[in-house]
Amino acid sequence: MTNAELSTSQQTVDNNNLPLLVAEDIIKIYKTGKIETQALRGVSFKVYPSEKLFLIGPSGSGKTTLVSIIAGMNKPTSGKVFWKYLTKDITRSSLEEIIKARRRFAGVIFQDSKLLLHLTVKENIELAGYYAKIKPSVVKEQTEFLLRFLGIWEKRNKKENTLSGGEKKRAAIATTLITNPKILIGDEPTGDLDALTSESILDLFERINKELGIAICVVTHSQQVASRADRILELRDGIIIGQHSSEIQLRKLEKSRLLEIDRQNRLSIPTNIIQNLNNPKHFSIISQKGKIVLEPIFEPNRFKNNNQIITCSMCGKMVTDDSKFCNYCGSAITARSEKNE
Ligand SMILES: Nc1ncnc2c1ncn2[C@@H]1O[C@H](COP(=O)(O)OP(=O)(O)O)[C@@H](O)[C@H]1O
Ligand SMILES: [Mg+2]
């Protein structure tokens, strides 16, 4: 799918379908002693029914934090998360309400998703069904279906310690699918597997999406996976900087990237472009024939129209010398003599 098709298809999706999941202005600040880490700085996105959405981004960009928040396993510092069929913002719901709603809404699978060691594969899947208060006859039928669908029928009476990495993963996926969720949320679910096994599990995600109609929202580093996505969101330093189509090359992100202006009107300029321009810190911005032109300025103290930067005598912030009031503290600008030049 080309970028143009991607944006058109998104518009169509927007018009025809209510989203399954909505994340609005998610901010997450972790406090460790006196140190604050802003892991997410205002992230908004939606996942639509049956969509295959993947999240990419360098280590530390906030991917794990984001998926744990949309899965209702971590509370944001601010922002809202809505799940279809639950009118309430889940960030304001009690743990009990979230656990109850999540059983029917989302299957969550992490790299270290584990089975209960003393139970067989079949018993693990059935137990997850009973916890979700599904009728025993339905649990039995659904367990048999999943064991076959996920290719672990032969392993149904085995315990976890006798299974291969891929089989463990299939069994863990089965325990999340027994409740017939609408969406599968995952954080690098194949990160601990070898390339071949990982590939087979990712094929399975594809089948889960296509044949069971379950939406996918998964963090990945895999080129093969990303190439099968409907949409890929790129996270960097705690914000979504762009979207990609399935034509993505993870090593050349600029080729498929549609830069995204977020709900706070922020646009993140890719580092390599800034570097190619010799790292300017300021740009003039002009709207020209339907385009936005950013021109680097290397003299930070002088704007194009020859306004100079002066210091507000009240708050000390820098403003242009034609300002009547300080943009930051609102006090009248009188200190014309305090030029920074
Ligand atoms: N529990 C935590 N306490 C403090 N800082 C954290 C915690 N979890 C993550 N962080 C920090 O938040 C940022 C984003 O982390 P994370 O969501 O794990 O990113 P990613 O999954 O993209 O690598 C990082 O700077 C990380 O160090
Ligand atoms: Mg992570």
At which of 204, 230, 259 does a domain end?
Answer: 259
Give mean pLDDT, residues 189-210. Answer: 88
Does residue 305 sit in the same domain as residue 242? no
Query: Nearest C-alpha to atom 5 of ligand 1 is from which residue?
Result: 30
Residue nearest to atom 18 of ligand 1 (CA): 64
DSSP category for residue 302? B
Above 60 in pLDDT, residue 180? Answer: yes
pLDDT at 111: 78
CA 209, CA 244: separation in Å to the nearest integer?
19
Amino acid at 286: I
Judged by its nearest atom, the ligand closest to the C-alpha of residue 191 is 2
Question: Does pLDDT of 60 surpass 70?
Answer: yes
Ligand 1 atom nearest to 58, measured from its CA: 22
- Domain co-membership, 39 together with 87: yes
Q: Among 29, 32, 37, 54, which is best to mutate for testing ligand 1, by the most ligand atoms less than 8 A from CB?
A: 37
Ligand 2 centroid to Cα of residue 206, in Å, is 22
Domain count along the chain = 2
Atom of ligand 1 nearest to the CA of 40: 14
Residue 267 belongs to some domain of the structure: no
- Tell me if 110 sits within 8 A of 186, measured CB to CB: yes
Residue 291 lies in a domain: yes
In this structure, the answer to whether residues 86 and 124 fall within a common structural domain is: yes
Q: Which residues of the chain form beta strands (DSSP E)?
A: 21-32, 35-47, 52-56, 78-83, 86-89, 106-110, 183-187, 215-219, 231-236, 239-244, 258-259, 282-288, 291-297, 309-311, 318-320
- pLDDT value, residue 62: 96
Sole residue written with tokens 């069929």: 85
Nearest ligand 1 atom to alpha carbon 65 = 17
User: Which residue puts its alpha carbon closest to atom 20 of ligand 1?
Assistant: 60
**How far is 124 from 65, CA to CA, in rounded Å?**
27
Within a domain: 93: yes
Nearest alpha carbon, ligand 1 atom 27:
60
Q: Ligand 1 centroid to 282 CA: how many Å?
A: 30
Which ligand has the shortest distance to the CA of 236?
Answer: 1
CA of 47 to the centre of ligand 2 (A): 20
Give the confidence band of 8 by pLDDT, cuts at 50, 70, 90: very low
Q: What are phi and psi of 98, to 5 degrees?
A: -65, -45
Decide: 231 and 211 in contact? Cβ < 8 Å: no
CB of 193 closer than 8 Å to CB of 169:
yes
* Phi, psi values for residue 225, rounded to 5°: -70, -50
User: Quick one: 163 and 311 in the same domain?
Assistant: no
Residues 211 and 179: beta-carbon distance below 8 Å: no
Regarding whether 166 and 218 lie in a shared domain, the answer is: yes
The per-residue DSSP string of 190-242 comes to TTTS-HHHHHHHHHHHHHHHHHH--EEEEE---HHHHTT-SEEEEEETTEEEE
Q: Which of 259, 289, 305 is at the close of a domain?
A: 259
- CB under 8 Å to 280, separation ≥6 — which residues? 274, 296, 297, 298
Taking the C-alpha atoms of 232, 236, 242 and 245 in order, what is their torsion angle to the nearest 10 degrees?
-20
Residue 269 placed within a domain? no
Q: Quick check: CB of 213 below 6 Å from ligand 1? A: no
Q: What is the pLDDT of residue 284?
A: 86
**11 falls within a domain:** yes
Residue 39 Cβ contacting ligand 1 at under 6 Å: yes
Determine the residue type at 293: V
**CATH number, position 242:** 3.40.50.300
With beta carbons less than 8 A apart as the criterion, state whether 282 and 30 touch. no
| Residue 26: domain span | 3-259
Are 176 and 300 contained in the same domain? Answer: no
Both 169 and 293 in one domain: the answer is no
Cα-atom radius of gyration of the chain, to the nearest Å? 25
Instruction: Please give the Cα distance from 85 to 60 (Å, whole number).
Output: 32
Q: Which ligand is nearest to the CA of 235?
A: 1
> What is the reported pLDDT for 306?
63
Last residue of a domain, one of 206, 231, 259: 259
Crossing angle between the packed helical segments 195-212 and 136-149, to the nearest 10 degrees: 130
Q: Is 271 a member of any domain?
A: no
User: In the predicted model, is pLDDT for residue 313 greater than 90?
Assistant: no
Q: Which secondary structure element, helix H or strand E, spans residue 14, and what is its range? A: helix 3-16
Could you tell me the pLDDT band of residue 340, with boundaries at 50, 70 and 90?
very low
Residue 272 lies in a domain: no
From the CA of 238, give the closest atom in ligand 1. 14
Judge if 159 and 294 occupy the same domain: no
- Are 89 and 151 found together in one domain? yes
The owner of tokens 């076959």 is 148
Q: How far is the CA of 115 from the centre of ligand 2 (A)?
A: 21
Model confidence band, residue 70 (pLDDT cutoffs 50, 70, 90): very high
Bigger pLDDT: 12 or 142? 142
Indicate if 121 and 213 belong to the same structural domain: yes
Residues 223 and 329 in one domain: no
The predicted pLDDT at position 213 comes to 95
Within this chain, do residues 228 and 328 fall inside the same structural domain, yes or no?
A: no
- What is the Cα–Cα distance from 30 to 303, expressed in whole angstroms? 38
Helix (H) or strand (E) holding 82: strand 78-83
For residue 74, the 8-state DSSP code is S
**Is 268 among the domain residues?**
no
Which of 71, 58, 63 lies closest to 43 in space, CA to CA?
A: 63
d(CA 62, ligand 1 centre) in Å: 6
Residue 305: pLDDT band (50, 70, 90) is: low
Helix (H) or strand (E) holding 294: strand 291-297
Ligand 2 centroid–CA 303 distance in Å is 41
Token duo for residue 92: 């304001």
Q: Could you tell which of 26, 27, 29, 30 is best to mutate to test the pocket of ligand 1, judged by most ligand atoms within 8 Å of the CB?
A: 30
* Closest by CA position to 261, among listed 246, 231, 241: 241
